[in-house]
Amino acid sequence: MRLAAAEKIKKAASLPDLEALRISYLGKKGELTAVLKQMGGLSPEERPAAGQLANEIRATIEELIAARQKKFKEKEKSKRLVSEAIDVTLPGKSSPIGHKHPISIVLDEVTDLFIGMGFSVASGPEVELDYYNFEALNIPPGHPARDTQDTFYITDKVLLRTQTSPVQIRYMENNKPPIRIISPGRVYRSDSVDATHSPLFHQIEGLVVDKGITMGDLKACLEAIAKGIFGGGTKIRLRPHHFPFTEPSCEVDVSCFRCGGSGCPMCKYEGWIEVLGAGMVHPKVLKNGGINPDEYSGFAFGVGLERITLFRFRIDDMRLLFENDVRFLSQF
Ligand code: DAH
């Protein structure tokens, strides 16, 4: 039995085979168990020797099975190690993390500067009434300013806003002075795309209304912002201009941040770069917003966000901001 068992165990092809063999010899109905059961029929003299032999056979079978089991397990383990091997030299899978668009970077910077000066952020609709976009801002039908701000009309009286200035009226209608807001947002004009134009762009509107507000307040405020965006050495210059909703009105230049004012291609050798329009809020506009111009005065300004983003990052074509080429955008 011992030899036969040893032979079978040697030939067992798998762990389950081994288990079946173990049961066939040592299980309740196994061959060896049957032999042990018959020991009762032996004479007392025969029993010890037979018992010892049976125990030896059992021990041998158990040992052989255990040794074989160990082999199988080792084989299985090394097979698993091979099949589950990880090639640590393979390139990893990266999950690229997005980041802010340059326009958003500059908008956040500017917003922070204004919030630091006590401003809050207001918003208004992009689909706007003609009344708020033009009429209430002192641009009646037929006014030549409408020609420079042609836009997309939904109906005769509803349009895509051409400027963020309508937020001035909407805010004044719903809030009492003192008012200190900026209002960033998208605006639209039916312009063809080129290096400096886009039918969709962004502006930041500013409005301050209180008792005794003067042009001096406007200048100090814009100077602080210009230094914040373009650097501490930046100077500003106010040039007379005309906007229907401010009186007096001005355009504001900053000293060229590239050459410091001595003249270079960036500022077209002028030393100054125009960045925004501003002025004292027209009495009619205050009235349209429900504010008494005899009691209150205010200043307003409007900045093109793309323009200052281009300057801020020295980008020379506005189209790059809208093409969404990640290779370009990931540089900022
Ligand atoms: N809304 C003007 C534009 O789009 C910019 C502007 C100029 C806004 C003067 C103002 C301002 O608030 O006072 O051209």
Q: 175-213, pLDDT tens digit by residue?
A: 999 999 999 999 999 999 998 899 999 999 999 999 999
pLDDT of amino acid 158: 97
Which residue among 139, 146, 243, 288 has the greatest number of ligand 1 atoms within 8 angstroms of its CB, and so is best to mutate?
Answer: 243
Torsion angle (degrees, nearest 10) of CA 318, 324, 325, 327: 90
pLDDT of amino acid 36: 77
Share of the chain above pLDDT 90, in %: 65
Q: What is the mean pLDDT of residues 17-33?
A: 83
- 3-class DSSP state for residue 325? coil
Which residue, judged by its Cα, is nearest atom 5 of ligand 1? Answer: 302
Could you tell me the residue ranges of all domains in the chain?
2-83, 102-329
User: How high is the mean pLDDT of the chain?
Assistant: 92
Which residue, judged by its Cα, is nearest atom 6 of ligand 1? Answer: 302
CATH of domain 102-329: 3.30.930.10
Q: How far apart are CA 186 and CA 198, in angstroms?
A: 11
Neighbours of 32 (CB within 10 A): 19
Secondary structure letter of residue 154 according to DSSP: S
For residue 235, pLDDT over 90 is answered with yes
pLDDT of amino acid 63: 84
Q: How far apart are CA 182 and CA 214, in angstroms?
A: 18
- Show the tokens assigned to 121: 């952020």
More confident residue, 4 or 318: 318
pLDDT of amino acid 163: 98
For residue 45, pLDDT over 80 is answered with yes
Q: How far apart are CA 213 and CA 218, in angstroms?
A: 8
For residue 216, pLDDT over 90 is answered with yes
Residue 27: pLDDT band (50, 70, 90) is confident
More confident residue, 108 or 265: 108
Residue 20: pLDDT band (50, 70, 90) is confident
- Show the tokens assigned to 108: 């956040």
Question: What is the number of alpha carbons within 13 Å of residue 202 lying toward its C-beta?
Answer: 20
Cβ–ligand 1 distance for 208 under 6 Å, the answer no
- Show the tokens assigned to 260: 């410091």
DSSP per-residue codes, 273-288: EEEEEEEEEPHHHHHH
Cβ–ligand 1 distance for 182 under 6 Å, the answer no
For residue 2, pLDDT over 80 is answered with no
Q: 145-184, pLDDT tens digit by residue?
A: 999 999 999 999 999 999 999 999 999 999 999 999 999 9
Axis-axis angle for helices 15-26, 46-83 (nearest 10): 170
Q: How far apart are CA 3 and CA 107, in angstroms?
A: 89
